[in-house]
Structure 1
Amino acid sequence: MNNISNKFAGDEAPDLTSAEFRARKAIVQQVEKWCDDHANEPKARIYKNQWSPILYKYEIVKTSAKTERDWGHLLFTDMTLSYFMLVMTFPQACNCGNLSHHDYGALTRYHADRFMSLLVYLHEEWDWGPNPRWVRATYVTPAEGLRLAPDFLDNIGAQTPGEDLKDGRPPIYVATADSFSPSLFPNELEKIDNTVARGSTTKNRKGAGVRERVLGSKEDRPDVSAALRGKNMRQCGFCQEAKELSELRLCAG
């Protein structure tokens, strides 16, 4: 399991802005404290009440993220790789409409569905990992002090799929293996197949016909503001400068 806690041991990271780094670090520390506080409870909510952060800025498959809308943020798993928490970190919403809670909610649900689509496909098509149970997702902004609502961490018993709305906190979304919006694209499935087939000699494709269960359309992507559809900037491995994806290959030293 790839625990990325050490990524936030310092004060910055080259592939995150200062605001992104501070927000993600605050969430990692909050979840770590929750795990410490609940480690010895006789009735665990998940296995030993332990969450491990495994991703802090991810795309479904390499080069699939073309704009800011396409990146997932902070992902945690329990020790059995059956339960997942997704936390999106966003800037303060503004009245001009460029950054809105409506967009934040739509993106959070979208990424929860996409990650569950990936888990279902890997498990049922390629026999990878245990049966995924749920992805529980929410978002934070500076308005919440970059802190998760207490019930996001505490109320993780039996999960009801869908949206949980409550005044005073961002929505909580739950996607389960039986209830999610299919949202992987054909080219992503092809890349996933190639990656799994190339990466292991022991994985036999089950061919369970799950492709149609997870296949979505680009037209189903959330219609968010232009501020969240901007071009991606990635750090060049050679010059260390942030560049648009199309320009990275031009920098060869």
Structure 2
Amino acid sequence: MRLRRLDLIRYGKFTDATIDFGPKPQTGPDLHIVFGLNEAGKSTALSGYLDLLFGIEERSRYNFLHEYSAMRIGGALELGGEEHIFTRTKQRANSLLNAAGQPVSEMAISSHLAGLSRDAYETMFSLDDETLEAGGKSILESRGDLGKLLFTASAGLGHASDTLRLLEAEADGLYRKQAHGTELALLKKRLAELKSRREAVDTLASTFETLETERLDATEKYDRSITERSVLSARLET
């Protein structure tokens, strides 16, 4: 799902305002940055997008300019590769309208949200300073396990925990603190053995140079001895 355009028709401080993100680019990143001064309406626009998807909240705080009965949000959503126009009004039933202004089922949007509730969607995809801080505290208080469970369940990633366990087991097989049977520990042991063998046969450069000189001298003496023996053998034969 992709937000193509957000229409803040009568919502918060806005009247007939539009944020158009344009068509999805054929190549390159599809990233847009909405920026503005404090109180410019960035948070209002974010809340408007959530209300478009899930319905305007029962006690919405964005009715300070337009009454509940007049509040209206619209937008163009790209769903399954096709663009759909929706409008959302503030009422308990039939609040989602199509491009013709006719009520449509909530499934028209919710079927593309992978079963996410408003709270789950906001926690995962609509981050601001407050939600980041609150989410971090929740995960810390639950020691991480509950946070991972909630995330995988809400995102439809039930297999993620199994995959994570397999990766953790694989990582433990490679390295585990103070363990002697891991792959890394065995490789370190083998490296130490090879280092000891190298040190046993290793020779200082000065010692090697002396030995090499002695070898050359011995080779030269050997060659002279062979030559002298050949000369003596020839004399004896004559």
Shared fold (TM-score greater than 0.5)? no
Q: TM-score, normalised by structure 1?
A: 0.23
Larger radius of gyration: 2
Q: TM-score, normalised by structure 2?
A: 0.24
Structure showing greater relative contact order (alpha-carbon pairs closer than 8 Å, 6 or more residues apart): 1
Larger % of helix: which? 2
